[in-house]
A and B are shown apart, each in its own frame.
Chain A
Amino acid sequence: MRTSSPAPIRPSLWVLLCLFAPAGAPAAFGEAAECSLILACAGCHGDDGAGSGPFPALHSLKPHEVVSTMRAFRLGERPATVMQRIAAGYTDPELSKMADCLSGEPLE
């Protein structure tokens, strides 16, 4: 995916989000659950989302970049070998959650 970008994962962040949310904080837990959306992205983009070889880093992307790039892939507006197939598997609200998890910042 030389021509491409996003899809996700940042396990250190992810650890915090998914596993160490306090039991007494259901809202946080709900948020954390959404981060399991980005788990499989590590298969190409690396366990820390730092990218690898032809696969770009994800952890430096801003949330709005994640969403706009993935939408462009899905709509065929951005050329790609593979990412258009993957982007088609996520809805817009899911992309927002993924961007949020990935960047470590809530999407404005």
Chain B
Amino acid sequence: MTLSRRDFLGLSSGGLFLSACQLTPPQYPALKRARVIVVGGGFGGLNVAKAIKRLAPECPVTLIDRDLSYTRCLGSNLVIGGFASEQSLQQDLPSPLAAKNITFQVGEVVRVSHNPSRLHLADGQTLPFDRLILSPGIDFRWDQVPGMGESLSGQIPHAYKGGQAGLLAYQIKNMRQGGTLIITAPQNPYRCPPGPYERASLVAAYFKQHNPKAKILILDAKSRFSKQKAFTAAWDRYYPGMIEWISYETEGEMDHVDAPKRTVHMAFNRFRADVLNVIPPQKAGRLGEQLGLTDASGWCDVDPMTFESRRHPRIHVIGDAATIGPMPKSAFAAQAQARACAVAVIQSLLGRPPLEPRLINHCYSFIDQQHAISITGVYGFKAGSKELITLSQGETPPGALGETEAAEAQGWYQLILEQTFG
């Protein structure tokens, strides 16, 4: 921020900008009286609320979540591999938000009404809004996993949202010597595409120390997966013979799960586990469907330039729940979308046209504590188009097994936690 730049833009003239030396930005009445509500206390929700406050401190922002704390999925594979405590995934919501002057409210959203726009909570409260931003995360398609269901996930954890990482870690720790962990990996799209494979890697790191004859079998609904070459090279090098990946092409679709016997019946064969981790196919978090924002895919259909729903104006959806062009579903992506959404919301409140965001996703996976691999994409709009496309992408080559990247991964992990929950 320099005087020359502001003069260059003419911002210090016209009275809108007070003085180059004054750090307080001008107060916009339209922002001061705006009613912005964010629902969801995860990476998308917290970051969009904070970004709006950072850009427009005078804009009142309320964040609503069902709970006083958020259990993050990011970092849960470290817990499952025994590298971090289950408690470390719990993030307190009220105090960091209060520090940023964001109103926090515990509440269960029931519905939205239009003209005028109102958010209705289960306790009968009705909250008027100008802009509503949802970041409801994911839900599971249990109907696509015959034999399984939410109630059985207390014995056969998914550990892919909420507080199940500790349960899966416990089962892995208590697995018999030489036993088999089976992970079922879902069809695209789903939260954290490399997640199941990072999980296999970190559990293998644990087994190498504590259960060296154990096996990990990944039954995949896909015929290829994120960072596949680098993962495969790392498994050959660090965990030879321990992890077996079984492609959709080999075993076909899952037929059903026999939960009492911890057995997965695939199209051709059945596989019995000592510890079974079924990661179900996914869709947008319940709120997306409940408010009528999802399309036939089960995900929220939004304009990738503004994240505004194509079904309901003034409602924006970010993070895992939304289809944002070719962007994968990750905490990094949710945070990038949150910043861009904050700009889109402020622009709209000021009656200005949207700014084209340039979005980045960058996602690390740990192989063990000393090694990590990554995948990166840059996303933007074709000139004159409203379609978000991949402008560049790349991943860790299989030959480079990521000693440097482990330090970067740790650095990034600390940073996003600080930015989001700090």
Which chain B positions have C-beta within 8 A of A19? 25, 55-56, 343, 346, 350
B268 within 8 A of A: no
B11 touches A22 (CB 8 A): yes
Give the interface SS of chain B, mostly helix, strand, loop or mixed: mixed
* A85→B392 contact, CB < 8 A: yes
Please classify the interface of chain A as helix (H, G, I), strand (E, B), loop, or mixed, using the class held by over half of its residues. Answer: helix
A-contacting residues, B364-422, CB 8 Å: 374, 376-380, 391-396, 400, 404-405, 407-408, 410-412, 414-416, 419
Quick one: which of A27, A31, A81 has the most chain B CB within 10 A?
A81
- Shortest beta-carbon distance, B384 to chain A, in Å? 15
Indicate if B357 sits at the interface (CB-CB under 8 A).
Answer: yes
Give chain B residues whose Cβ lies under 8 Å from the Cβ of A32: 9, 355
Known: A2-B407, A40-B339. A53 touches B9 (CB 8 A): no
What CA separation (Å) do A16 and B359 show in the bound complex? 21
Cα separation A86 to B378 with both chains bound (whole Å): 6
Chain A residues in 8 Å Cβ range of B378: 85-86, 88-90
| Closest-CB distance, B59 to chain A (whole angstroms) | 10
A82 x B376 contact (CB < 8 A): yes
Q: A21-B9, A104-B5 are in contact. Are A39 and B25 (CB under 8 A)?
A: no
By a beta-carbon cutoff of 8 Å, the part of chain B in contact with chain A is 1-2, 4-6, 8-11, 13-14, 16-17, 23, 25-26, 54-56, 332, 335-336, 339-340, 343, 346, 350, 352, 355-360, 362, 374, 376-380, 391-396, 400, 404-405, 407-408, 410-412, 414-416, 419
* A residues in contact with B26, CB < 8 Å: 20
Q: Quick check: is A15 within 8 A (CB to CB) of the other chain? A: yes
One of B4, B394, B411 near A52 (C-beta < 8 A): B411
Asked if A84 and B394 sit within 8 Å, CB to CB, the answer is: yes
B362 A104 Cβ-Cβ under 8 A = no
Given the complex, which residues of B lie within 8 Å of A89, measured CB to CB? 358, 360, 377-380, 391-392
CA distance A52 to B419 in the complex (A): 11
Interfacial residues, chain A to chain B (CB-CB below 8 A): 1-3, 10-25, 27-29, 31-33, 36-44, 46-47, 52-55, 81-82, 84-90, 103-106
Q: Give bound CA distance, A67 to B400, whole Å.
A: 27
- Asked whether A86 lies within 8 Å of B392 as measured between CB atoms, the reply is yes
Query: What residues of B have a CB within 8 angstroms of the CB of A16 in the complex?
Result: 1, 5-6, 9, 11, 17, 25
Evaluate whether A104 and B360 lie within 8 angstroms (CB atoms) in the complex, with A25-B10, A36-B340 already known.
no
Q: A86-B378, A105-B5 are in contact. List 17 more A-B contacts (CB 8 A).
A: A2-B404, A15-B55, A16-B6, A17-B11, A20-B16, A20-B25, A36-B343, A39-B358, A40-B340, A40-B357, A44-B362, A52-B414, A82-B362, A82-B374, A84-B394, A85-B378, A103-B2
Which of B2, B16, B404 contacts A22 (CB under 8 A)? Answer: B16
From residue B306, how far is it (CB to closest CB) to chain A in Å?
12
A106 proximity list for chain B (CB < 8 A): 4-5, 8
Among A10, A39, A81, contact of B357 (Cβ-Cβ < 8 Å): A39
Contact in complex: B343, A44 (CB < 8 Å): no
B336–A81 touching, CB < 8 Å: no
A-B contact pairs, 12 of them (CB 8 A): A28-B11, A29-B352, A33-B355, A33-B356, A36-B340, A36-B358, A37-B358, A43-B335, A44-B415, A85-B377, A88-B392, A104-B4
A45: nearest chain-B partner, CB-CB: B415
A49, chain B: closest CB distance, angstroms: 11
Within 8 Å CB of A46, what residues of B? Answer: 415, 419
A18 B2 Cβ-Cβ under 8 A: no
- Is B332 a contact of A43 with CB atoms below 8 Å? yes
B374: nearest residue on chain A (CB-CB)?
A82
**Residue in contact with B2 in the complex, picked from A11, A37, A105, CB distance below 8 Å:** A105
Q: Which single residue of chain A is at the shortest CB-CB distance from B376?
A: A85
CA distance A24 to B25 in the complex (A): 18
- Decide: B392 and A21 in contact? CB cutoff 8 A: no
Given A13-B1, A39-B357, A40-B360; A2-B346 close (CB under 8 Å): no
Which of B8, B56, B360, B396 contacts A43, CB < 8 Å? B360
